[in-house]
Chains A and B, each alone.
Chain A
Amino acid sequence: MKLKISRGELLTGFQRVQGVVEKRNTMPILSNMLFEAKGDQVILFATDLEIGIRGTYKAEVSQPGGVTVSARKLYEIVRELPEGTVTITSNDEHRVEIEAGKSEFKVLGLPPQEFPAMPTVESEPLMPMDRKVLSDLIRKTVFAAGDNNARYILNGLLVTLYTKDKKRFLRFVGTDGHRLAVIERQLDDGKGRGLPQEQTAIIPKKAALEIKKLLEENEEGPELGVSKNQMIFKRGGLLLLARLMEGSYPNYQQVIPKENEKRVAVNKAELEGALRRVSILSREKTSAIKLALEPDTLTLSSSNPDMGEAKETIAAKFGQEGLTTGFNARYLLDALAAIDAEEAVLEFKDALSPCIIRQPDDPDYLCVVMPMRV
């Protein structure tokens, strides 16, 4: 294999695979990526057997071929190279040589046959998505999903496609058993022809986070699809496949309170600041804070028997009889971070019932947080 490629193109490709390659050393070859040169392009593929990412990058290939090599090391090398052209060759012993300017690297690789095969994409119809819409769907729910939760299925996002009044909607749900976020977005008319009327899938949180990263590259034209056992994200020559999670997702609709009549509107930045400050002195590891609602104020407080205590009062129009409850400050901060408005609305029923957090101008988004006994 021999090729010339621009350092910028290579860096983009290497960056994209970093999040997918396996960090734990269960199967050493999974910390490698597959590097293939053919035609006028380089194909990069990495997988942890749950998620696979494959991208194509423009290159001048003088001798086609392939090799698998440490994804981390090659990324570190290319990151430090100056702008310009990089020459990459590999020999029969699968040693990869990287030359750029005055630098020269030789990195040991393995034959490409040893790398897991790229999964084939079944010819499922993909739906074209607005970049901002897909980004919101993920960003506003992924924080609530589990991270290494003992209940495996909660480490995923529930994705539902449904049709109402001949219009297509996509709904994302994330929960870790303590909090929940739900968002719905209508898909543009006319898009997604050939898609089923209804479809449900649970996608791994890691895949959602990788897609979110790819969307931050600000390139338009993402497409999304779900086949029988995998989720497909496509954008031009870039493809991310994730194995769907199997299991039954909890009945989330049941836990969205219907009778939370005690509403309070607060300045989001002010509440976030107060939460961060007060939680500094909350009991270690729990971030437990107390929240006291009065007709015109909201008082946050924390206390730690070994440390001390903190208190902060902010203005908030509650206009009802008082209510005192407790929360994990981190859960509230995560929910507020997903609100794209100056004001956030909190809705309560009583001290031990879940609280709803809403964005005033977005009726199709809400987050539910269960209180703590403090």
Chain B
Amino acid sequence: MPPTILHIDMDAFFASVEQRVNPALRGKPIAVCGANARTVVLTASYEARAYGVKTGMTLPEARGLCPGLIVVPSDHERYTDVSRRLLTIYQDYTPLVEVFSVDEAFLDITGSLTLFGGGEAIASAVKHRIRREMQLTASVGIAPNKILAKLGSGLKKPDGLVRIEPQDVPMLLEDLPVKELCGIGPNLERALADMDIRTCGQMGRTPVERLIGRFGIIGHSLKAMGRGQDDRPVVPTGEEPEAKSIGHSMTLARDVRRPDEIEHPLIELSEMVGRRARRNRYGGNVVTLTLRYADFQTFSRQRRLQSFLNDGMEIYLAARRILGTVRLEQAVRLIGVSLSGLIPDTGQLPLFETDQRRNRLLATMDGINDRYGEWTVRWGTLIAGHPHKAVISPAWRPKGVREYH
């Protein structure tokens, strides 16, 4: 039997969750933004979208288009909690649920079709339960593979249900711009345009050798994508390969020029990374610092360390040494810290009593923060600032190393 895949995409997820919680926001143009005033619009409600407000706009840009815009700071604990509850709904229909991001999931329902009476029946049932139990709407795509299911969920938003049959595929893709396909970002789009490939139809007809010559091994996938083919399985959440890195980033309250002004957020991010590594019993030996300049130019530098570590302090020391090697050419807008080269905790004991005490201290702090919430106990240096609420990364998963709240 050919596979049947659902892609469920929550409509204006963060904004809808906020409108559900606060009735005063319903029917109004709202934009959910990061906790600090300088972040960009994360999600706009459909009322705001009518004015042209889009994800990624800065607040002044959004307000320029929609003067009555209500700005709501994001509350990630709330969204990840809703996301976890959605997962339990999906899992009532199939065990093969891949959480793709906080507001998207793939369901392989091939095996449950007869049980629930077909693809549309399952999609309608899921949509109905999301509406009844969560007071939210979702758009669903039904297709023989992931790439088409994802395409389908985006065709009739909001509250859509689109089935893509194999025979519809050539017509659907013929004039579809390549950027509409999941996995083709702006860089790839530009590179394809340089080869005169703008639509999926063109990409599917391009000889595979040409694509491989330009893009290497992914040439095969690009050709297949252009023809609406995709054999990637739905990987149930919890069975995905182990994380390669643990990282956090934040947009600063204002652009800063002096390296010492970056210190405080650097400590904060390093602490968050260390905390998450310890929570999942990982240690890493590569620390990466990412900086984004005021003009959005972004770059990373990394440092390989001798031993595997997960103490925020040591991550910070490494990140600061990297910062010391960078000559800032512009004011910095965003910084990110990540730990990679991850291995499960080695069990190596430290030689020095001070390090042993330090490990006990961290375990105690982690225990308190597990119980009473993040930042309940924190280093004195971090008391002055407003502890940062993490932005949910696209790689968010309901459990495991990617989880953060």
Is B a genuine binding partner of A?
A: yes
Which residues does A use to contact B, with CB under 8 Å? 26, 146-152, 175-180, 250-251, 254-255, 283-286, 288, 326, 328, 352, 354, 368, 370-374
Q: Are B306 and A148 in contact (CB under 8 A)?
A: yes
Q: Find the B residue at minimum CB distance from A371.
A: B349
Task: Fill in one digit per residue for B185-196: 1 if any A CB lies within 8 Å of its CB, else 0.
Answer: 000000000000
Q: Find the A residue at minimum CB distance from B343.
A: A285
Chain B interface extent, by class: 20 to 34
Q: Are A176 and B306 in contact (CB under 8 A)?
A: yes
Q: Find the B residue at minimum CB distance from A285.
A: B343
Min CB gap A155→B, angstroms: 8
Which residues does B use to contact A, with CB under 8 Å? 303-309, 314-315, 317-318, 321, 325, 343-344, 346-355
Q: Are B303 and A255 in contact (CB under 8 A)?
A: no
Which residues from chain A contact B317 at a C-beta distance below 8 Å? 150-152
Q: Are B351 and A354 in contact (CB under 8 A)?
A: yes
Q: Find the B residue at minimum CB distance from A24.
A: B325
Min CB gap B259→A, angstroms: 16
Q: Which of B314, B348, B349, B353 contacts A150 (CB 8 A)?
A: B314
Q: Find the B residue at minimum CB distance from A353.
A: B349
Q: Are A328 and B306 in contact (CB under 8 A)?
A: no
Q: Are A178 and B314 in contact (CB under 8 A)?
A: no
Give 13 CB contacts A-B under 8 Å: A149-B305, A150-B317, A176-B307, A250-B354, A255-B352, A255-B353, A283-B344, A285-B308, A286-B343, A288-B346, A370-B348, A372-B347, A372-B349
Q: Which of A148, A250, A284 has the most CB of B within 10 A?
A: A148
Q: Are A177 and B350 in contact (CB under 8 A)?
A: yes
Min CB gap B253→A, angstroms: 28
Q: Are B305 and A178 in contact (CB under 8 A)?
A: no
CA distance A313 to B344 in the complex (A): 28
Q: Are A26 and B348 in contact (CB under 8 A)?
A: no
Q: Find the A residue at minimum CB distance from B327.
A: A26
Q: Find the A residue at minimum CB distance from B316.
A: A150
Given contacts A150-B309, A178-B351, list 18 more A-B pairs with CB under 8 A. A148-B305, A152-B317, A176-B307, A177-B351, A178-B348, A254-B353, A255-B352, A284-B343, A285-B343, A286-B347, A328-B346, A352-B349, A354-B351, A370-B350, A370-B351, A372-B347, A372-B349, A373-B347
Q: Are B306 and A370 in contact (CB under 8 A)?
A: no
Say what secondary structure dominates the interface of chain A.
loop
Q: Are B306 and A326 in contact (CB under 8 A)?
A: no
Which residues from chain A contact B303 at a C-beta distance below 8 Å? 148
Q: Are A148 and B304 in contact (CB under 8 A)?
A: yes
Q: Are B307 and A178 in contact (CB under 8 A)?
A: yes
Which residues from chain A contact B351 at a C-beta distance below 8 Å? 175, 177-180, 255, 354, 368, 370
CA distance A371 to B355 in the complex (A): 14
CA distance A374 to B344 in the complex (A): 12
Question: With contacts A149-B306, A151-B317 known, is A177 near B349, CB below 8 A?
Answer: no
Question: With contacts A151-B317, A255-B353, A284-B343 known, is A372 near B305, CB below 8 A?
Answer: no
Q: Are B347 and A150 in contact (CB under 8 A)?
A: no
CA distance A213 to B348 in the complex (A): 31
Which residues from chain A contact B348 at a C-beta distance below 8 Å? 178, 286, 328, 370, 372
Q: Are B346 and A370 in contact (CB under 8 A)?
A: no
Question: With contacts A150-B309, A177-B307, A178-B307 known, is A372 near B346, CB below 8 A?
Answer: yes
Min CB gap A291→B, angstroms: 14
Which residues from chain B contact A176 at a C-beta distance below 8 Å? 306-307
Min CB gap B347→A, angstroms: 4
CA distance A176 to B305 in the complex (A): 12
Q: Are A374 and B355 in contact (CB under 8 A)?
A: no
Which residues from chain B contact A255 at a C-beta distance below 8 Å? 351-353
CA distance A307 to B114 in the complex (A): 41
Q: Are B352 and A250 in contact (CB under 8 A)?
A: yes
CA distance A147 to B303 in the complex (A): 12
Q: Which of B346, B350, B355 contacts A286 (CB 8 A)?
A: B346
CA distance A354 to B315 in the complex (A): 26
Min CB gap B373→A, angstroms: 28
Which residues from chain A contact B315 at a C-beta distance below 8 Å? 150
Q: Are B354 and A151 in contact (CB under 8 A)?
A: no
CA distance A180 to B353 in the complex (A): 14
CA distance A151 to B321 in the complex (A): 11
Q: Which of B307, B314, B315, B343 has the most CB of A within 10 A?
A: B307
Question: With contacts A250-B354, A373-B349 known, is A147 near B306, CB below 8 A?
Answer: yes
Which residues from chain B contact A150 at a C-beta distance below 8 Å? 305, 307, 309, 314-315, 317-318
Min CB gap A323→B, angstroms: 16
CA distance A371 to B314 in the complex (A): 21
Min CB gap B305→A, angstroms: 6
CA distance A150 to B314 in the complex (A): 6
Which residues from chain A contact B309 at a C-beta distance below 8 Å? 150
Q: Which of A150, A177, A250, A326 has the most CB of B within 10 A?
A: A150
Which residues from chain B contact A288 at a C-beta distance below 8 Å? 346-347
CA distance A254 to B353 in the complex (A): 8
Min CB gap A153→B, angstroms: 11
CA distance A284 to B308 in the complex (A): 13
Min CB gap A59→B, angstroms: 37
Which residues from chain B contact A250 at a C-beta distance below 8 Å? 352, 354
Min CB gap A302→B, angstroms: 13
CA distance A285 to B346 in the complex (A): 9
Q: Are B354 and A149 in contact (CB under 8 A)?
A: no
Which residues from chain A contact B318 at a C-beta distance below 8 Å? 150
CA distance A255 to B356 in the complex (A): 12
Min CB gap A288→B, angstroms: 7
Min CB gap B302→A, angstroms: 12
Which residues from chain B contact A147 at a C-beta distance below 8 Å? 306
CA distance A220 to B305 in the complex (A): 36
CA distance A327 to B347 in the complex (A): 9
Q: Find the A residue at minimum CB distance from B285.
A: A285
Min CB gap B323→A, angstroms: 13
